[in-house]
Chains A and B, each alone.
Chain A
């Protein structure tokens, strides 16, 4: 199934959840949905027999640099062999996105990574804690954000040492 057909199928069910569909994006078309509806959309994407997106290839956090954070879902269907890109955008001062961990278990660690690096809060995630950064990393400090400042000291050690 092509991306625009997939989009039409989602549109017929979740017209109110859609923000934007960009068909002419380089390299792949993508669909942006509302952050508080993404779980419903994903559940439909997985359970609809025509779509059957059973495989989450990648989930990435993004900082767009203009006060917006985003999450990008690259999904694939093992059954039909088609793929699709889903996006959500949230303001940096209230970065709350619904978790899709209950739909694709692979989202568990990817969401933890996005939380760790960007501070995106995934609502409904069973175990949202840092994954790659040390546990004593300062709270509220997210290294992949564009406005991240390298701290002068880490655990009493000067940076760069």
Chain B
């Protein structure tokens, strides 16, 4: 900015200096889908960012009202955050179960925990892989995908699907774990820490990567809370808040794990590197949870609590869980007599996290915006619903 002023002063006569408007997206590789950012730039420096969303709007909430029953909403929920579909199903199903007031068997709860945590690892692998890709590191992406593939294989042998599962049902899960699941899971648990170390050596502590991400896009804790940020966005800013600990659901209160928070190790607390590193460390914690859950997994029937009819009493519920991207919440209103919800509102973590983008990208370069946007880790399917 300073150099800009000097050059204009040195030019004699009237030189018009003005900001410029630049469109980024909707088909820009670093926007991870169809997001359009209207940038107001002063040379290379960002003065303001105006996000335009809605290109992937599929009327989820309207669909949910028009279904013939509550269970039919689950496949639609899958398609919100399509790289973490298990987490979405879990949040929706738990909300409906809370409204119904039913308890599910212990085995189902443990299976749900294992699935949700595997999904968290898979989702974070995708997030950090594509983040490296955004910043010009191609190799870590392939290594992340190699590991993610193993998790998708686990999902595939369990429910037949690799991306959109329709696995977690109201009152249970669609299939019990197959007999070969345990062996494959143990293989994964054994090899994954080594792979994580490789990714760390390759990307996390890479000098170029640190230079691109440290001290960039700093989000102070109070701003993060005021903007409703959640998940790694909030924890990257140093706020120790995780719904698995603060509002435990399922059987999360039985496991020992830490909540990683941003410490400003490479720069300032709440910068892009902190958000990135929170994700890396969360994968280690998820691994711990899976190990414990697998050891404690009780026997039982996974279909015994599935209700024949889902007709919740008149009332409403807001239930939230910790998805890989943050707090996903479902606000469901039941009118008491029909078999489909009267109103469903999905509070998507990416939608809320994205709204803070203008706040944290002002004053940085356009190239930094790519790093900032990648560190927010949005999924447009969830932003637009």
Residues of A bordering B, CB below 8 Å: 25-28, 54-58, 60-63, 72, 74, 78, 81, 85, 104-106, 108-110, 117, 130-134, 143-144
Contacts and interface: CB of A to CB of B under 8 A. Distances in A.
Contacts of B227: 105-106
B338 to A, nearest CB: 12
Given A57-B228, A85-B318, A131 B329 contact: no
8 contacts: A26-B315, A27-B317, A57-B327, A60-B331, A60-B343, A62-B343, A78-B241, A81-B246
Interface string B237-253: 00101000010000000
Residue from B317, B331, B359 with most neighbouring chain A CB atoms (10 Å): B331
Given A132-B53, A143-B62, A104 B228 contact: yes
B239 A104 contact: no
Give the top 6 A-B pairs by smallest Cβ distance, nearest first. A26-B315, A106-B228, A60-B345, A58-B347, A132-B54, A27-B317
A27 B333 contact: no
Contact of A143 (B59, B228, B385): B59
A56 B99 CA distance: 22
Contacts of B355: 105-106, 108-109
B112 to A, nearest CB: 20
Given A25-B316, A54-B226, A105-B223, 20 more contacts: A25-B315, A26-B315, A27-B315, A27-B316, A28-B318, A57-B228, A58-B329, A74-B329, A85-B318, A104-B228, A105-B228, A108-B355, A109-B352, A117-B61, A131-B53, A131-B54, A132-B54, A133-B57, A143-B59, A144-B61
A136 to B, nearest CB: 12
A74 B355 CA distance: 18
B275 interface: no
Contacts of B317: 26-28
B226 A106 contact: yes
Contacts of A57: 228, 318, 320, 327, 329, 347
B18 to A, nearest CB: 22
A133 B225 contact: no
A115 to B, nearest CB: 13
Contacts of B246: 81
Q: How large is the interface on B (under 10, 10 to 19, 20 to 34, 35 or more residues)?
A: 35 or more
A58 B331 contact: yes
Interface in B306-320: 313-318, 320
Contacts of A27: 98-99, 315-317
A144 B318 CA distance: 19
Interface string B76-106: 0000000000000000000000110000000
A132 B61 CA distance: 12
Contacts of B318: 28, 57-58, 74, 85
B351 interface: yes
A62 B344 CA distance: 9
